[in-house]
Amino acid sequence: MLFFGLSTWVLALVLAVTMAGATVLGLVVGRILARRSDQHREPLGVLQGALVGFMGLILAFALSLAVGRYENRRADVVDEANAIGTTYLRAQTLSEPFRSHSLALLRVYTDVSIGIADHVPGSDAQRDDVDESSEIQRGLWSLAAQALDAAPTDSAPRLYVESVNDMFDAQTRRVAGLGNRVPSPVVLLQVVAAAVALAVLALHLGTYGRGVATVLVAAGLVTLLLVVSFDLDRPTRGLIQVPDAALSAVAATMAGPPAAEAPRRP
């Protein structure tokens, strides 16, 4: 939960202060060393080159992981929307009264699924939505079992049972993906590595008595990369959020009358 509990702007401020503090400290120490001796410049140059390369590797790796998780969360939303849409269409082929009851529950289920992404993963509000969704799942599964029992040889109930199961699995994957974040030790390593690398870079430049603007620009870019990387891991409360357009589109199609009429039993 390190850094995740902070708001986006507070997080950006904390990172900016940390990177700026490390940079200023490095500049001050570098100028103090420069007044005493210039023998530290060469070893500091080698050290800062190695640390800056290490920092760049960590930031690139962390950003690629964050982007990958973000794309997976977007794909999970589309997968669940497709699963709900397929289930809704197949529910229309059921006989009454299972058809009407299933369609009504699916509309509520879709609204609850959209609401799950509006809350912070692991929060009480999200758990309430997940619990409500689980209750609806029990109702849908009960109706599916009853429809299959009423017509065990028909293909419609069998296909519907399959799609209902896929729909449940899709929501489980999406909820798990929303809570899939970078472990706190890895987050801390990113921040510490970036701060140390900037401090040593500023220390090296400080021994020459110049390069203040350069190292401050570097600190700003590193802060921006960290903020973006962490924000991608905050799918429901960050500036970069996972859109629920696919689920909303499915919910919109349910607002009108069903495309297929109830089948007539011979």
Q: What is the residue-wise DSSP string for 151-179?
A: STT-HHHHHHHHHHHHHHHHHHHHHHHHT
Taking the C-alpha atoms of residue 32 and residue 207, their distance in angstroms, rounded to an integer, is 8
Whole-angstrom Cα distance, residue 165 to residue 167?
5
pLDDT at 2: 60
CA 152 – CA 146 distance, rounded (Å):
10
Is the pLDDT at 40 greater than 60? The verdict is no
pLDDT at 230: 87
User: Which tops the pLDDT comparison, 210 or 222?
Assistant: 222
CA dist 198 and 166 (Å) reads 49
Query: Measuring CA to CA, which residue among 212, 230, 209, 231 is closest to residue 220?
Result: 212
- pLDDT-above-90 percentage for the chain: 33
Does the structure show a pLDDT above 60 at 266?
Answer: no
Cα angle at 1 between 245 and 119, to 5 degrees?
A: 30
pTM equals 0.82
